[in-house]
Amino acid sequence: MTPEIMKLVEQMLKGENVSLSRVISLVENESSQVPQIMKRISPHLGRAHCIGITGPPGVGKSTLVDKLTGLMRKQGLEVGIIAVDPSSPFTGGAVLGDRIRMQQHYLDKGVFIRSMATRGSMGGLPQTAGSVVKLLDAAGKDIILVETVGVGQSEIDIMETTDTVLVILCPESGDAIQTMKAGLFEIADIFVVNKADNPGADNFVRDIQAMLQLREPNWWDIPVMATQAINDVGTQELHKQIQLHYQALCKEGRLLQRRQLQRKQDFIKTLERKLTSRLLKLIEQDGQLSRYIEKVEKGELDPYSAVDEVLKSANLLTDWFGQ
């Protein structure tokens, strides 16, 4: 690690937000210094409660994050917010459409807000989101709120990154069966029906509760909370449920288990990303691999047989990944 980056990391560990922002940028841009940065902060991890907020677009996720942040700040807690937005088709950066709802917290030194672009990720979170969570944890944030882009179909990443997952829905977002089909049903620790003053909200709450009754008994009874975030109704009760879930995680030893699984998934995904990147470079450079691709393209060899031949060629693999 260069002396300049070492200094940045040390300042970040002391809670300096400007340094934190610059280190996050290094991680987002996948700097060659990232492995050393993550090694340096490793002893400082595991103190923050990380909360994921997900659900379809337009259900009020940003407004709920704003209200929850206010409640947490009243308790004197340091809050970090990762707000994931769609990528700009022009710059590749985050489209900051929803951050206006959190503007009251921008001048609060106890709140750190970072917008991140999805950068083509289909799991609701960019690939580097887990690393940014670690940076916020190491920087001394007590609570980390991660708001997904709200793709509504593929949100498993949030479960593999956070301790408590809130699934936000509203009466207009579709019926309860559609909710289950979207894959959100399996990842929720707490269901939140926002905009609960809208017609059909009570029935929607009952439908979700009825579906939860069909699940096998578990260590945690998933609550269904009704809120009106825009009017700050039900947010205190929701905050209490978040605290109860975290207490239950700690008491049951589930927090340790969840974080062990997260570290395993982090390792596997990082390995996949590195191997994929190296393989793509090799495709451009290696003539033998290019010939396999050419045969597949011409239909002379099917993809499965081509892959088998490559994997059986131990010398070939050694040559590739030994480079």
In tens, the pLDDT along 196-224 reads: 999 989 999 998 898 888 888 888 999 99
At a CB cut-off of 8 Å and minimum separation 6, what does 154 contact? 122, 123, 124, 183
Q: Is the CB of residue 292 less than 8 Å from the CB of residue 305? A: no
For residue 98, the model assigns a pLDDT of: 47
Mean pLDDT of 44-71: 92
pLDDT exceeds 90 at position 171: no
Position with higher pLDDT, 319 vs 10: 10
pLDDT exceeds 60 at position 35: yes
Provide the whole-model pTM: 0.86
d(Cα 11, Cα 207) in Å, to the nearest integer? 50
Q: Is the CB of residue 55 less than 8 Å from the CB of residue 150? A: yes
For residue 151, the model assigns a pLDDT of: 52
Residue of 182, 135, 114, 107 lying closest to 33 (CA atoms): 135
Q: Which CATH number fits domain 45-252: 3.10.129.10, 3.30.420.10, 3.40.50.300, 3.50.50.60?
A: 3.40.50.300
pLDDT exceeds 90 at position 173: no
The domain locations on the chain are 1-43, 45-252, 265-321
Q: Is the CB of residue 27 less than 8 Å from the CB of residue 34? A: yes
Report CA dihedral (48, 54, 57, 58) to the nearest 10 degrees. Answer: -70
For residue 296, the model assigns a pLDDT of: 92
What percent of the chain is modeled with pLDDT above 70? 83
